[in-house]
């Protein structure tokens, strides 16, 4: 069972870090707009492939249900970006980046690590790494100022994300992972619930005419916090590699 859980954790990390990589590669062109290429990146086949069927046969029902939670997570996130077209406009408003973004993200990762029983050392390291990564992203966007025209992220993406959070939590808590017994799965369930709580706080208003650059940075910071907390549940790299080889493949 532990081997199977590690497999799901790794799939989750692969997807989350791909979202993070896309956001840093296609960082906001200005404080008032999410990068259109970031939104379009979710249309790439590789992003939908992250939600494909498992390449192993799960022996444990809780792990199988956890994997379905992961697939739902990929599907809903991708749809938020793919079901909305880019917004093209020549109008603009001045939007400042939220100075509390880094502090909020650091608090979230700290809370996440504590929730899953992480120690003080691992919490501080996760907080430091996240603050540095998000700080670099914010600094680069601040230097760009505002954009005045173009096709950028659509504000309706934020509404789709926010509206999906209650349904995702309901599926996790009342359909798929009602009473898991494995400590790692219980921890991941807790992380999922808290992650969706954070996503639901993202601003859905004031995206005029585009989804703001600040929204992209905050969205990215929550994904990165989720990933760094999940890493606390991974086996050591050598151990994980050995365990993956033990998994039962489909015939």
Q: Please determine, for residue 2, whether its predicted confidence score (pLDDT) is greater than 80.
A: no
5-9, 68-72, 230-234, 240-244: segment of lowest average pLDDT: 240-244
Q: Please determine, for residue 27, whether its predicted confidence score (pLDDT) is greater than 90.
A: yes
Give the model confidence (pLDDT) of 57-79 as tens digits: 999 999 999 999 999 999 999 99
- In DSSP terms, which residues pair with 150 in a beta bridge? 89
d(CA 234, CA 184): 9
Q: What pLDDT, on a 0 to 100 scale, did the predictor assign at position 188?
A: 96
Percent of the chain whose predicted confidence (pLDDT) is above 70: 84
List, as own/partner pairs, every contact residues 61-64 make where C-beta atoms lie below 8 angstroms and the sequence separation is at least 24, other chains included.
Answer: 62/1, 62/177, 62/180, 62/181, 62/182, 62/185, 63/1, 63/4, 63/5, 63/8, 63/182, 63/185
97-101, 126-130, 153-157: segment of lowest average pLDDT: 97-101
Assess contact for 8 and 74: CB atoms under 8 A.
Answer: no
Of 158, 228, 220, 224, the residue nearest 28 (C-alpha)? 220
Q: Please determine, for residue 95, whether its predicted confidence score (pLDDT) is greater than 80.
A: no
């Amino acid at each position: 069972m532990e081997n199977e859980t590690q497999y799901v954790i790794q799939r989750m990390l692969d997807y989350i870090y791909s979202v993070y990589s896309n956001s840093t590669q296609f960082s906001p062109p200005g404080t008032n707009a999410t990068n259109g290429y970031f939104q379009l990146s979710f249309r790439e086949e590789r992003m939908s492939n992250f939600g494909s069927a498992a390449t192993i046969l799960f022996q444990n029902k809780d792990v199988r249900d956890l994997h379905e939670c992961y697939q739902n997570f990929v599907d809903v996130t991708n749809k938020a970006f793919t079901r909305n077209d880019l917004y093209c406009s020549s109008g603009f408003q001045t939007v400042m980046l939220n100075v509390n973004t880094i502090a909020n993200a650091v608090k979230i990762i700290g809370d996440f690590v504590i929730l899953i029983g992480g120690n003080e050392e691992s919490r501080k390291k996760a907080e430091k790494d996240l603050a540095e990564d998000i700080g670099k992203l914010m600094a680069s966007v601040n230097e760009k100022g505002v954009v005045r025209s173009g096709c950028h992220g659509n504000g309706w993406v934020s509404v789709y994300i926010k509206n999906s959070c209650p349904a995702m939590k309901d599926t996790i808590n009342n359909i798929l992972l009602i009473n898991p017994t494995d400590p790692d799965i219980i921890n991941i369930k807790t992380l999922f619930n808290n992650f969706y709580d954070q996503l639901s706080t993202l601003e859905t208003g004031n995206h005029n005419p585009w989804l703001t650059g600040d929204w992209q940075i905050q969205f990215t910071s929550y994904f990165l916090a989720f990933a760094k907390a999940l890493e606390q549940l991974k086996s050591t790299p050598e151990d994980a590699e050995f365990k993956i080889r033990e998994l039962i493949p489909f015939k």
